Amino acid sequence: MKIFKQFLDSYINSSIHIALSCFALVNITNLMLNIKNDISVAWFAFFGTIVGYNFVKFDALARANKNKMRTQLKAISAFSFVSLLLVIFYFFKLQYTTKIGAAFFLVLTILYTLPFFPNTKNARNWAGLKIYIVAICWVGVTVILPVLNSEISLQNSFYIIVLQRFLLIFSLILIFEIIDLKMDDPHLKTVPQQIGVKSTKILGFVLLIVFCGLGFFNINGNINGNFNINFNINGNVNVQFIELLLNYVIAIVIAIFLYFSNENRSKYYTSFWVESIPIFWWILLVLFQ
């Protein structure tokens, strides 16, 4: 059991799990928009997430304890370096416009981590902005980059999916902010710090309802955005209706995690289980396509 816990901690701390969530969301976008599967964007997102999250989590710690780095931190640093090389490799496989988009979200990540000017805080510590920056980066990497790389035309269905993904990511981050309420600096002005835990949960529920409602305008995210629910000759429900139902399933799962979230939950509540939701969603979509 101890060995399993050590493995699980290393798996989570190295950001592999959160990277799989990002990888899953890219592939969900591909399925919903009928984009030809392009592994370049998915793997760029996977390794980029590892590099970005490890940089955010361990940069300050490594610089403050250069001579006291633990073995795990050294291993994660080496793993992050290899991931960085793979990010560069897949970056050069992207379309030109996708590279521009990727560079923009890279700047946002750096801005989130490091102060750009002397005597200023990084964006992670800007009051009230953290949740928006994180949500925008996730939407950019998991929706905008795949679309840019596919060079499909941007029509209403794309914008609906962007809004849906933002609402979904925002709701997931609310769970993290509730769990981290005791540890977060009061000056961060996170959503729970400003409106309280109960109101934060209500906000999350409302956002999830809007997320589900938007699905009626763009059930399967196809480019023409046609609304079409029917049954085939054998009585089987078509793919569009299944995707709509899966939207509800995922929204309900997130709502349950949000409802039971509190400051005393284990770190695995968010760092493993909540971060598994996109992976679970992707698996369901693949199984029912």
**Is residue 34 over pLDDT 90?**
no
**Is residue 219 over pLDDT 60?**
no
Amino acid 59: pLDDT: 60
DSSP state of 14: T
Report which of residues 39 and 201 the model is more confident about: 201
Model confidence at 53, in pLDDT bands (50, 70, 90)? confident
- If you average pLDDT over residues 150-156, what whole number do you get? 77
Looking at the DSSP bridge assignments, the partners of residue 237 are 231
- If you average pLDDT over residues 158-187, what whole number do you get? 90
Structure tokens at 240: 């569009």
Instruction: Give me the chain's average pLDDT, please.
Output: 83
CA atoms of 169 and 139, how far apart (whole Å): 8
Structure tokens at 282: 């992707």
Q: Judge contact between 129 and 1, C-beta under 8 A.
A: no
Amino acid 227: pLDDT: 43
**Is residue 167 over pLDDT 80?**
yes
Amino acid 114: pLDDT: 53
Whole-model pTM: value is 0.87
Measured between alpha carbons, how far apart are the two ends of the chain, in Å? 37
Report which of residues 2 and 29 the model is more confident about: 29
Report which of residues 248 and 237 the model is more confident about: 248
Task: Please report, rounded to a whole number, the percentage of residues in the chain having pLDDT higher than 90.
Answer: 51
- If you average pLDDT over residues 114-120, what whole number do you get? 48
Structure tokens at 66: 């250069």
Task: Please report, rounded to a whole number, the percentage of residues in the chain having pLDDT higher than 70.
Answer: 82
Buried b (16+ CB within 10 A) or exposed e, 83-100: bbebbeebbeebbeebbe
Task: Quick: pLDDT tens for 239-274.
Answer: 677 888 899 999 999 999 999 999 989 989 999 999
Q: Judge contact between 173 and 134, C-beta under 8 A.
A: yes
For the four alpha carbons of 205, 274, 167 and 263, in that order, the dihedral sign comes to positive
